[in-house]
Amino acid sequence: MGKRRNLKGLPNSLEQRYFSGLFWWHKACMADWIWNSANEKGITDIEIDILQDTVIPKEIEIEPITSQLKDLRFTITRTLESNGFPNDFIINAKFKIFISQKYKPIRLLTCQGIITDKDGHVYEGKIYTETAFQTPFEVFPVTLIDKLK
């Protein structure tokens, strides 16, 4: 089996990949999708479960946010294999995302990757900050029926 110290950087790698320009969905990157959807729903705390393809709260579990998670799972598998670990060594991989009201005008969010292995060891990434750069757009369009409610 490999050495755990080789996995310490994995949460940071996942954060950087997820928020990079490579992870683009139609008209925006992940920071824009997360920022705009959370802002529309009044959400400040978000948890993305990479292994389970889920987002909490469910109301922003949308395809643009979850579509790239399979690529992150591949990154985990590739990292485990290249460091001598079995593919099932990581049992939990999540992003904890927070949108501070203080930094709302500059559209800044923070993210921390947290990974747990099957022995219970937790790997915490650095707190990563990202800015939503695209012009704000509507993620959940309001329909006439919504307006009449």
- pLDDT values of the chain reduced to their tens digit, one per residue, 149 residues: 678 888 999 999 999 999 998 888 888 899 999 999 999 999 999 999 999 999 999 999 999 999 999 999 999 999 999 999 999 999 999 999 999 988 888 999 999 999 999 999 999 999 999 999 888 788 887 655 555 55
* Rounded Cα distance, 6 and 9, in Å: 7
Q: For residue 135, give the H/E element and its range.
A: none
CB atoms within 10 A of CB 111: 25
Global confidence as pTM: 0.91
Location of structure tokens 């395809």: 63
Any idea what DSSP says for residue 62?
-
The per-residue pLDDT for 147 is 53
